[in-house]
Amino acid sequence: MINDGLDSNLKRKFETLKQIPERNPQVVASAKSDFLRQAAALKANQHQDGWIKNIFPFISINADFPKLRPIVAVLLVIVILFGGSAATVYAAQGSLPDQPLYKVKTWSEDLLLAVTRSPQNQLDHNLNFADRRILEIAGLLAADTPIPQQVHIRLQAELDQALELAAGMDDQQMIMELERIGVRAEVQLQMMSMLMAGDTNSPDPVMAMVRSSLQQQLKLTAQGMSDTQGFRQQFQNQDRNINPTPLQIQGSMTVDSKYSITNTPMHTEPNYSKTSTPSPSDTNYSKTSTPTPPGKKFYGISTGTSNGKKTDPTGTPKQNGNGQKTPTQDKGKKP
């Protein structure tokens, strides 16, 4: 019984206090968005903060056990002397692209991929690194820092490599992995949409490119699951660096020799003026011709011409040599 013990006078007074105006839905949406952005930023920083506790878990014990202090001091000296480099690499894992340790982080990622033999583990690493890129974007947005193109470049390479590794597996495993890649891309895409919705500033062009890459990834995984043979052949053709033979995809789409295969040389400097990201609605197997980050192999297929006409690589704004949009690009820009 809610009102037990309450006399009628007090009950009446409470009733007046109960009446409240309706909550403004716009304020609610904005507050919710802020809350989720804060959560994303905290998640991005968790790696960064976590390393201290992981390396020095005894620091909190120190206050409770003062006798341990000399031992802790000696251990700290040893750790600093001998474990400095390892700790630096570990500490770098939570760094953001605008921080000095970020280079160490990307270097350690490249190294990990280079020493990993199992394709399954390589695929796992690529997916995890792609997650990291999204978290980095969230962290940068929270800090109101522009997102460097390097983040998109690395993400694209990781997405490409994950698909290529899946294509090298047998049918059953490939479908399983493609499904996993697709689910991951879907979650990442949701996260990007959330971040973009919560960003009150003008949308960052790199975010748009990242979203487009993720949409493309989703499409490719879906296509791969419906036509494993065609999907695999596409990647085999890439490795041989030849033009693919006409390929029927889902009975209606054709990838023909107009899609020339490009293996961008390694250590290519990023040049966004030549970037042509396919539109999310592009149903071909064509991939983004994205500059390759140092140490990463590029697996994308460059878009060529179709029936003498240029294919429409919309979805993200193209730029001319000056980094400005060309007049024709806005026409093809999708909402």
Partner 1 sequence: MTTDKDLLKLARQLDPATLANIYDKFSPGLYRYAMRLTCDQDLAEECVAETFSRFLQSLSSRKGPQNYLQAYLYRIAHNWIVDHYRRKPIEPDQLDEKQADNRLSPEEHLGSTIQNYSLRKALFTLSPDQQKVIALKYLEGLENIEVARILEKPVGAVKSLQHRALSNLKKMIDQRDLL
113 in contact with partner 1 (CB under 8 A): no
24 in contact with partner 1 (CB under 8 A): yes
7 in contact with partner 1 (CB under 8 A): yes
17 in contact with partner 1 (CB under 8 A): yes
61 in contact with partner 1 (CB under 8 A): no
Nearest approach, Cβ of residue 35 and partner 1 (Å):
5
194 in contact with partner 1 (CB under 8 A): yes
51 in contact with partner 1 (CB under 8 A): no
Do 309 and 332 form a contact (C-beta atoms < 8 A)?
no
25 in contact with partner 1 (CB under 8 A): no
29 in contact with partner 1 (CB under 8 A): no
Nearest approach, Cβ of residue 95 and partner 1 (Å):
18
170 in contact with partner 1 (CB under 8 A): no
Tell me which stretch binds partner 1 (CB under 8 A): 42-50, 107-115, 174-182, 295-303: 42-50
Task: Single out the residue of 252, 233, 253, 232 nearest to residue 244, CA to CA.
Answer: 233
Please tell me the count of residues contacting partner 1 according to CB under 8 A. 36
Q: What's the DSSP call for residue 247?
A: E
- Rounding to the nearest 10 degrees, give the CA dihedral for residues 152, 157, 162, 164: 140
19 in contact with partner 1 (CB under 8 A): yes
Gap between the Cα atoms of 28 and 22, Å rounded: 11
DSSP H helices in 56-83: 58-64, 69-82
Query: Measured at the alpha carbon of residue 144, what is the angle toward residues 139 and 148, in degrees to the nearest 5?
Result: 70
Expressed in angstroms, the distance from the first to the final Cα of the chain is 55
Rule CB under 8 A: choose which of 43, 180, 325, 333 binds partner 1: 43
39 in contact with partner 1 (CB under 8 A): yes
Q: What's the DSSP call for residue 118?
A: -
35 in contact with partner 1 (CB under 8 A): yes
CB atoms within 10 A of CB 251: 8
Task: Single out the residue of 251, 250, 231, 233 nearest to residue 242, CA to CA.
Answer: 233
Rule CB under 8 A: choose which of 54, 190, 241, 328 binds partner 1: 190
Gap between the Cα atoms of 130 and 157, Å rounded: 9
How many Cα atoms are found within 13 Å in the side-chain-facing hemisphere of 203? 15
10 in contact with partner 1 (CB under 8 A): yes
Structure tokens of 262? 């490009």
Instruction: Select 18 or 117, whichever has its Cβ closest to partner 1.
Output: 18
Q: Contact positions toward partner 1, by CB under 8 A?
A: 2-3, 5-7, 9-11, 13-14, 16-21, 23-24, 27-28, 31-32, 34-36, 38-40, 42-43, 45-46, 49, 190-191, 194
